[in-house]
Amino acid sequence: MERMKLERMTKTSVQDLALFDGKPLFAEPLHVGRPNRPSKAVFMQHADDIWESAWLTNNGPKVQAFEAALCKMLGVKHAIPVCNATIGLQVAIRALGIDSGEVIVPSFTFIATAHCLEWQGITPVFCDVDPATHCMDPAKIEPLITPRTRAILPVHVWGNICDIEAIDAIAKKHKLSVLYDAAHAFGCDHNGKMAGNFGDAEVFSFHATKVMNTFEGGCITTNDDEVARIIRLMINFGFIGKDQVTHVGTNGKMSEISSAMGLASLEAFDGFVAHNRRNYQHYCQRIAEISGLSVLEYDETGKHNFHYIIVKVADDAGISRDAIVKILEAENILARRYFYPGCHRMEPYRSYYPNAGLLLPETEKLTEVLLCLPNSTATTDEDVKSICDLLAFIMQNHVEIVKSAAK
Closest to ligand T4K by CB, 138 vs 374, is: 374
Least Å from the CB of residue 77 to ligand T4K? 22
Instruction: Show the DSSP H helices in 30-124 as ranges.
Output: 40-53, 61-74, 85-95, 112-118
Closest to ligand T4K by CB, 74 vs 395, is: 74
Least Å from the CB of residue 39 to ligand T4K? 18
Q: Quickly count: other Cβ atoms within 10 Å of residue 241's Cβ.
A: 7
Least Å from the CB of residue 256 to ligand T4K? 18
For residue 153, which of 84, 108, 104, 205 has the smallest C-alpha distance? Answer: 104
Least Å from the CB of residue 216 to ligand T4K? 6
Contact criterion met (CB below 8 Å) for 156 and 181: yes
Closest to ligand T4K by CB, 367 vs 393, is: 367
Closest to ligand T4K by CB, 233 vs 261, is: 261
Instruction: Show the DSSP H helices in 256-406 as ranges.
Output: 256-287, 321-330, 349-352, 361-369, 381-396, 398-406
Cβ-proximal residue to ligand T4K, closest one: 33
Q: Quickly count: other Cβ atoms within 10 Å of residue 187's Cβ.
A: 23
Least Å from the CB of residue 84 to ligand T4K? 4
Closest to ligand T4K by CB, 88 vs 292, is: 88
Closest to ligand T4K by CB, 205 vs 236, is: 205
Least Å from the CB of residue 18 to ligand T4K? 18
Closest to ligand T4K by CB, 34 vs 385, is: 34
Contact criterion met (CB below 8 Å) for 284 and 313: no
Q: Which chain residues interact with ligand T4K by CB under 6 A? A: 31-35, 84-86, 109-110, 112-113, 155, 181, 183-184, 205, 207-209, 218, 334, 338
Least Å from the CB of residue 153 to ligand T4K? 10
Calpha distance 290→309 (Å, rounded): 15
Least Å from the CB of residue 35 to ligand T4K? 5
Distant-in-sequence, close-in-space partners of 171: CB < 8 Å, separation ≥ 6:
152, 177, 178, 199
Contact criterion met (CB below 8 Å) for 198 and 180: yes
Instruction: Find the helix or strand (DSSP H, E) in which 174 lies.
Output: helix 164-174
Closest to ligand T4K by CB, 218 vs 249, is: 218
Distant-in-sequence, close-in-space partners of 401: CB < 8 Å, separation ≥ 6:
14, 17, 19, 319, 323, 327, 394
Closest to ligand T4K by CB, 140 vs 156, is: 156
Least Å from the CB of residue 201 to ligand T4K? 14
Least Å from the CB of residue 222 to ligand T4K? 17
48: helix, strand or coil: helix
Calpha distance 393→18 (Å, rounded): 13
* Rounded (10°) CA dihedral 211, 212, 217, 222: -90
Closest to ligand T4K by CB, 110 vs 198, is: 110
Calpha distance 105→141 (Å, rounded): 9
Closest to ligand T4K by CB, 38 vs 218, is: 218
Q: What angle do CA 85, 258, 190 make, to 5 degrees?
A: 45
What residue ranges in 155-269 does DSSP mark as E strands? 177-181, 189-190, 193-194, 201-205, 218-222, 239-240, 244-245
Contact criterion met (CB below 8 Å) for 386 and 328: no
Crossing angle of helices 225-234/85-95, nearest 10°? 120
Least Å from the CB of residue 31 to ligand T4K? 4
